[in-house]
Structure formats: structure tokens, C-alpha cells
Structure 1
Amino acid sequence: MSDLITTHIESFDGTQMAIHRMGEGRPVVLLHGLFSNADVNWIKYGHAAALAGAGFECIMPDWRVHGDSDAPTDPEAYPAGVLVRDAFAVVEALGLTDYDLVGFSLGARTSISAVLAGLTPRRLVISGMGLEGLTNWEKRVAFFIDMIDRYDEIERGDPAFIAKSFMKAQGIDPVAARLLLTRGVEQIDTAKLSTIAMPTMVLIGDEDRDNGSPERLADALPDAFVETIAGNHMSCVTQPGLSAAIVRFLSA
């Protein structure tokens, strides 16, 4: 496996963000999902190593509240669109001008928002996301807010138990997470999806419809197709098919 290097940058407001890097070659920015981190999403199951082996430099930030990045509990640290601003901070701090962008789940949603706000990757991978994940965000967030508000009461058998267990295992601060979810994640105007011009792969597990229809999302984009791999929303991240599909698309 290529050596893994971890550094930190300051985001727009001084929040320290961890950036994990592996490989040499064409830069690809990989954005992880909610309550996860770069290690769980991209490193642990070999995806970064596969991309590095195919000639890419993997650039894997931990979102604020996640992984080795800061988790501020000041509400002012969570303006609307904060993750988009963090994504811009990564691209600007590293001086990236010619790169690809890959996002999973919340990272996919943020990738779309960031492109709509002006990021210009050569190619875009939207994984673990469907159209309804963009339009029904408030409903999705409500589940997690309820989980955080009942954090100490949730026991095995509760529908929120798996989400709580995953969040706890990753060391997520519930106070910071609640602020991020209620204040920091922006709405997306799906009418603007037609302006996303770069080639896009909508990558989805064959049992994953947690965020709605990937086909409808691909249909809303000018130059997109759906690629299906094995797994549900959680398990597809553990499958080698995830990075194999990304390598094929980015290498074409």
C-alpha cells in the first residue's frame, strides 16, 4: 500500500481539517459520508490503495465534526453550506485546478452542492445518493436529530440503534453533530442539476435506496449514468467493486 500522509489545513473560519493523502498522480478528492471519516469510507477497505495503484493521488478530508478534524460546539461554526465552504477550502489550500471529485452519501450531496457553487472537477462520482436524497433532506435529517435527542435512551431493537452505534463507534460529538445537521447543510435546487456539465457516474449498491432513486438523479444530470455494485448503503463501502468502478470511470 502507498504511504498515507496526514496533514491539517485551516478552513474558512479557522477550523482545523485533517487531510489524508495517498498515492501519486492525478488528484482525486474523496468526500466521506455522515458520521464516517476518510479511514472508514476510503482507506480501511482498500479503496484509496486501489486508486493509488491505478495512478491517482487520493485526497481525503475529514469533515468538521468527523475523524481527525475539529468538532466545534459554537453554533457560529455552522453557517448554511458549511461543508461546501470546507470543500472549497480543501481545493484552494492544496491549489487544485485539474482534479476529479468523488463523494459518498453526505459527501455525494455536498459534491453536488459544491459543483453548483463553482467547483469544476474534470469528472464527478456521486455514490450512495438518489434524487430524493437531495429533495427530502429535511425528512432524512429528522431521523438523525431524533436519534441524537434520544441518544441515552436508545436500546437494541430501536430503529435508530444502528445509527447511534455507528456514530458512537466513530467518536462523533452529538452536540457538534446536531449543530451540523440543523444549521450547516444547505438545500439543493434540483432545477439547477441541468447545469452540471462534467461526465458523472451515479454509483449505487444494488440494495441501496436509502437516498432515493439513482436513476432519477442520473436522468436529471446532462451527462450521467448509473453504475450498480453489490451491497446496501452500509455494506457497499466494504466491497472492492466500489473502488473498481471508480477506477474504471476516472481512467476512461
Structure 2
Amino acid sequence: MNLNTPAFSSFTHDGLRLAFFDEGDPSGVPVLLIHGFASTANVNWVHPGWLKTLGDAGYRVIAIDNRGHGASDKPHDAQAYRPWVMAGDAIALLDHLGIPEANVMGYSMGARISVFAALANPHRVRSLVLGGLGIGMTDGVGDWDPIADALLAPSLDEVTHARGRMFRAFAEQTKSDRIALADCIHGSRDLVARSDMGKLDMPTLIGVGTKDDIAGSPQELAALMPNAEALDIPGRDHMLAVGDKVFKQAVLAFYARVAKR
């Protein structure tokens, strides 16, 4: 076991080869991690220290590279990236590993995927941690078409949209398939009905940075759910909140409470 550079394996689902790691204590409570848009399991969960944090706490830590990202296959088809389709990949990974139930934690797009997974398979999700996405889950997170345009532009020099430049530069830094990411933007933005959020009765922690201008209010989203709590991650924006120590400490305390249920 190496909590710094995990070994990736792969499985096949929906005709795609999907990469994942399975680290930490094999007998520990499983935590399934689902990363955000244009990220990877390594970028979202290993480099910011989540694998080490959860592994040191005795959990079995599993993370998938979402289709279109990392070492997984990258279809060029927007319909392949609907959030319930990607949620199916996550549940299929649990099936592949023979895990009946897990704590599921997603960040940003990964939070949306986590909710779709919980709605379709509530018996498989022991708890939810939704990072980087608050009421934007139900109300939307603004216009992402300029980001798709930025990803498809001939070069970064031609991108003037500020957030588009940020994501284009990030995609180039991670050597991502920019066509697949643009398709992911067009396919993955389905909203969750407020009434559907109310159906999720598993313990839920919703963490959003206080400087996040994408996610929307965690308190408003938590208020829609019967067993949810909100966490303000102080002084962090959408990109930096994921690795924040306040967030990590809150998740460990949350999991300790969940274990007593």
C-alpha cells in the first residue's frame, strides 16, 4: 500500500475501460471518491491529501477516474456523460469490488454524480459528502458553454473568457482530452429536482468554500434534505476548498458520527 502514489487498476463497464485505485485498509469501511470536472482521482484525492487522510484513519479508499478523465476511456459523445450514466460507472465499480455499501464522497461534478448514484441506489450509499456544490445542484451553476468553447479553441491565446481560460489551462496542464471534456460539459449538467433531494435520507455533509462563486449555498441545499448538514470552508474558492484541512477534519468527524448509527 502506498498512500502517495497508488496503483491503478481497471474494469470494463458500458463498453468502456475505467481506471480506479483501491487503497487503505482492505477491511476498513469503504469510501468511494468521485472527482470533479477536468480533474482525476490523483488530482482531486491523492495530491490534496485525501488518500493519506482517510487511509491513516483506517478507511478503505477507492477512487474512480470518471469516463473522459484520467486513465479511463474518453468517448466523444455528450450523451455518454449524463450524470446518471456516470453514476452507473461508480456503482459498477462497487459491484466489481464486491462492495454492497459505501460512504460516497464527490467534489463538484462528482457531487452531482454522487447524488444521482444515491437516488438510483440508495441502499448502496451509507452516507454522502458533497463538496464544492451547494444549491447549484438544483438551481444550476451558471453558463458553462464558454468553458466548452475555451476547451475547443485552437489555442489558449485565443480564449478571453476568464473561467474558460482557467479550465483550458488546467486541461492543458493535466494533458486532458479537450474534446471529451467539452462533451462532458454539454452532457453532465442535468439538475436534480428539489423534491428528489428530499428523498435522500442518508447522513449527508455538504461543504463549500466561502469564496466559491460556482457552487451556491450549502445551507440551502442541506435544508432540502432530511438528514444533512452544511459546512462553510473558510476563505477557500472552488479550486482550493477540496484540500482544505477544515474540510478534512469535518469529514473525519462526520464519518465517526455515521459509524455510530
Same fold per TM (> 0.5)? Answer: yes
Partner of 2:22: 21
- Residue segments in structure 2 that go unaligned for 5+ positions in a row: none
Partner of 1:97: 100
Identity of aligned residues (%): 30
2:122·2:200 contact (CA, 8 Å) conserved in 1? no
Partner of 2:72: 69
Matched, 1:10 2:15: no
Distance 2:7 2:127 in 1: 24
Distance 1:180 1:228 in 2: 28
Structure number with higher relative contact order (C-alpha < 8 Å, ≥ 6 residues apart): 1
Distance 2:121 2:148 in 1: 30
Q: How far apart are residue 152 of structure 1 and its match?
A: 2.2
Q: Give the TM-score taking structure 2 as reference length.
A: 0.87
Number of matched pairs: 250
Partner of 1:167: 171
SS in structure 2 at match of 1:100: strand
Distance 2:80 2:73 in 1: 11
Alignment of 1:51-70 (within 5 A): 51-70=54-73
- Which is worse superposed, 174-183 or 55-64? 174-183
Q: How far apart are residue 158 of structure 1 and its match?
A: 3.9
Distance 1:48 1:19 in 2: 13
| Structure 1 residue identity aligned to 2:251 | I
Partner of 1:126: 130
SS in structure 2 at match of 1:207: coil
| Structure 2 residue identity aligned to 1:9 | F
Alignment of 1:36-47 (within 5 A): 36-47=39-50
Distance 2:83 2:130 in 1: 21
Distance 2:150 2:43 in 1: 21
Partner of 2:212: 208
Partner of 1:35: 38
Partner of 1:106: 109
Distance 1:175 1:44 in 2: 25
Q: How far apart are residue 77 of structure 1 and its match?
A: 4.3
Q: Deviations over 1:211-242 (max 9, x none)?
A: 21111101011111112223111111232333
Q: How far apart are residue 78 of structure 1 and its match?
A: 4.5
- Which is worse superposed, 225-234 or 98-107? 225-234
SS in structure 1 at match of 2:48: coil
Partner of 1:247: 252
Correspondent of 2:196 among 192, 195, 198: 192
Q: Give the TM-score taking structure 1 as reference length.
A: 0.90
1:108·1:129 contact (CA, 8 Å) conserved in 2? yes
Matched, 1:83 2:86: yes
Partner of 1:219: 223
1:130·1:209 contact (CA, 8 Å) conserved in 2? no
Distance 1:141 1:130 in 2: 17
- Which is worse superposed, 21-30 or 152-161? 152-161
Alignment of 1:136-151 (within 5 A): 136=140, 139-150=142-153
- Which is worse superposed, 41-50 or 239-248? 239-248
RMSD: 2.2
